[in-house]
């Protein structure tokens, strides 16, 4: 998936187009193992970081949370999002999730390759 980052360059606005992001293996989160997960950094600016996350069919992203607000756009894919009390929400792209700070969640039973675009915004 192509992405474009726009930024001010002096008095002009420039576009940085990335035709195909370079995904790297994402094997652990806070010491817990992940299965079939990759990520690619998009960009960062003061107070925000954006990345793409790919979870292959059959993959698993453990129960986790962030101290930031996480805006997560499910671009493609299908599976389950699980909350700590056991509630299971099926997802099928396109979907938009907003996780407020410290909101535990888990991605599991990934039925179709899933691509997420995430923006982590520092909570104040």
Kindly state the DSSP code that residue 85 receives in the 8-state scheme: T
Q: What is the CATH number of the domain that holds 100?
A: 2.60.120.10
| 12 assigned to some structural domain | no
| 84 assigned to some structural domain | yes
What are 80-106's pLDDT values in tens digits? 999 999 999 999 999 999 999 999 999
Contact indicator for 15, 86 with CB cutoff of 8 Å: no
- In this structure, what are the phi and psi dihedrals at residue 17, rounded to the nearest 5 degrees? -100, 130
pTM score, whole prediction: 0.93
Q: How far apart are CA 82 and CA 71, in angstroms?
A: 17
| 8 assigned to some structural domain | no
What is the domain count for the chain?
A: 1
What are 7-40's pLDDT values in tens digits? 999 999 999 999 999 999 999 999 999 999 999 9
Query: CB-based contacts of 47: which residues, under 8 Å, 6+ apart?
Result: 121, 122
| 3 assigned to some structural domain | no
| 7 assigned to some structural domain | no
- Residue 29's beta-bridge partner residues? 32
| 1 assigned to some structural domain | no
Find the domain containing 99 and state its range. Answer: 22-121
């Amino acid at each position: 998936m192509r992405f474009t980052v726009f930024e001010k360059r002096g008095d002009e606005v420039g576009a940085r187009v990335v035709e195909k992001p370079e995904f790297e293996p994402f094997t652990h989160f806070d010491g817990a193992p992940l299965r079939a997960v990759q990520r690619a950094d998009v960009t960062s600016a003061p107070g925000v970081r954006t990345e793409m996350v790919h979870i292959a069919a059959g993959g698993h992203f453990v129960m986790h949370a962030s101290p930031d607000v996480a805006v997560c756009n499910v671009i493609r894919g299908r599976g389950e999002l699980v909350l700590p009390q056991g509630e299971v929400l099926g997802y099928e792209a396109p979907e938009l999730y907003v996780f407020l700070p410290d909101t535990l969640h888990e991605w599991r039973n990934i039925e179709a390759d899933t691509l997420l675009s995430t923006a982590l915004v520092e909570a104040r």
